[in-house]
């Protein structure tokens, strides 16, 4: 963002304001248009980041609006469309909000796979009841690497079990591979998700707006390498390839429709 401000010759605050405007417009468009989906398989996961300060520091210094931030996503395993996303903590209440939003965007029964996070159990049950084929992919891990140079290295995965929770999920499609790959896309595509840097989000609203802009670009503008179309085209939400100019037009439209 500071690089953009220097290259274009405008204030950093102007860049921040444009980000917020773009994020709000993209979030509104996603809310109104990503719905009535004919999806077959959905995968859900959550990814960690932090805002302003890490959780321990935020608690010690009583910093409001700071600490751990979790981004929850639900992806269509076939079209690779991000159906729902939510920013919050890692509690059952946030899982409930995500599942309720996901249920409202689907028009048919789907097979759902999540990891072993227990918050999903009640959330899926309350949102879908028995009208879903739901399974958990529960991974087991070995001992975490020791030493200061490996403190951010993940523990090795030693195995995984496929647990049927509701309905009759197809074991061959009980997987979280696509949504975990999307987590990597997010870390590579948004600087604020990079670990061990000073690029973390300083304000929660800016974090959310950056996510909304990223998912709008991912769903409607970026051509998926294996599909040869965008996820929105593959899901039948649009028949054209969007450009960044179309997102800019959304910002102007959103501003024009604001009540005076």
At which residue do the structure tokens 């920013």 appear?
87
**Residue 65 vs residue 7, higher pLDDT:** 7
User: What value does the mean pLDDT of the chain take?
Assistant: 93
DSSP state of 145: P
Q: Is residue 213 part of a domain?
A: yes
Beta-sheet pairing, 111-114 with 133-141:
parallel
**Considering the chain, what percentage of its residues have pLDDT values greater than 90?**
82
Range of the structural domain that residue 68 is part of: 35-242
Local structure of 220: helix, strand or coil:
helix
Whole-number pLDDT of residue 21: 94
Residues 67/59, Cβ–Cβ less than 8 Å: yes
Domain count, the chain: 1
User: What pLDDT score does 6 carry?
Assistant: 95
Query: Residue 7 domain-assigned?
Result: no
Alpha-carbon gap, residue 177 to 179, rounded angstroms: 6
Could you tell me if residue 113 is inside a domain? yes
Does residue 94 form part of some domain?
Answer: yes
Question: Cβ of 114: how many Cβ atoms within 10 Å?
Answer: 26
Residue 169, pLDDT score: 96
**DSSP-assigned states of every residue in 189-212:** H-GGG-TTSS-SBSSHHHHHHHHH
User: How long a stretch of residues is the chain?
Assistant: 260
Supply the pTM of this predicted model.
Answer: 0.91
Q: Shortest CA distance to 135 belongs to which of 42, 38, 247?
A: 42
Asked if the structure places residue 87 within a domain, the reply is yes
Nearest by Cα to 112 from 71, 168, 161: 168
For the cut 80, the answer to whether the pLDDT of residue 42 exceeds it is: yes
Tell which wins on pLDDT, 256 or 56: 56
Proportion of the chain above pLDDT 70, given as a percent:
97
Mean pLDDT of 145-153: 66
Neighbours of 188 (CB within 10 A): 10
Residue 74 resides in a domain: yes
Mean pLDDT on 225-250: 95
Report whether pLDDT(7) > 90: yes
Q: The domain spanning residue 182 has which CATH number? A: 3.30.420.10
Whether 5 is covered by a domain: the verdict is no
Condensed to tens digits (0 to 9), the pLDDT of residues 48-84 reads: 999 999 999 999 999 988 999 999 999 999 999 999 9
- Residue 122, in any domain of the structure: yes
94-132 pLDDT, tens per residue? 999 999 999 999 999 999 999 999 999 999 999 999 999
Beta strand 157-166 with 82-88 is unpaired
Check pLDDT > 90 for residue 241: yes
- With bands split at pLDDT 50, 70 and 90, how would you rate the model's confidence at 150? low
SS3 234: helix
């Amino acid at each position: 963002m500071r690089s953009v401000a220097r290259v274009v010759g405008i204030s950093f605050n102007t860049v921040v304001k444009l980000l917020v405007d773009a994020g709000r417009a993209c979030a509104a468009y996603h809310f109104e248009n990503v719905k009535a989906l004919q999806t077959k398989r959905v995968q859900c996961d959550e990814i960690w980041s932090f805002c302003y300060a890490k959780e321990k520091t935020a608690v010690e210094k009583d910093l409001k609006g700071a600490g751990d931030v979790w981004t929850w996503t639900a992806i269509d395993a076939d079209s690779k469309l991000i159906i729902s996303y939510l920013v919050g903590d890692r509690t059952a209440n946030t899982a409930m909000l995500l599942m309720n939003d996901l249920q409202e965007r689907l028009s048919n029964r789907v097979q759902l796979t999540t990891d072993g996070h227990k918050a999903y159990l009640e959330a899926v049950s309350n949102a879908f009841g028995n009208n879903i084929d739901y399974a958990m992919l529960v991974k087991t891990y070995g001992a975490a690497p020791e030493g200061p140079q490996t403190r951010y290295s993940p523990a090795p995965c030693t195995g995984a079990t496929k647990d049927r929770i509701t309905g009759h999920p197809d074991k061959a499609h009980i997987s979280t591979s696509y949504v975990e790959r999307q987590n990597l896309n997010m870390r590579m595509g948004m600087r604020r998700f990079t670990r061990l840097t000073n690029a973390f989000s300083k304000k929660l609203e800016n974090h959310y707006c950056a996510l909304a802009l990223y998912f709008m670009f991912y769903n409607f503008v970026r051509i998926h390498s294996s599909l040869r179309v965008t996820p929105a085209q593959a899901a039948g939400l649009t028949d054209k390839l969007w450009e960044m100019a179309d997102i800019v037009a959304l910002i102007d439209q959103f501003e024009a429709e604001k009540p005076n």
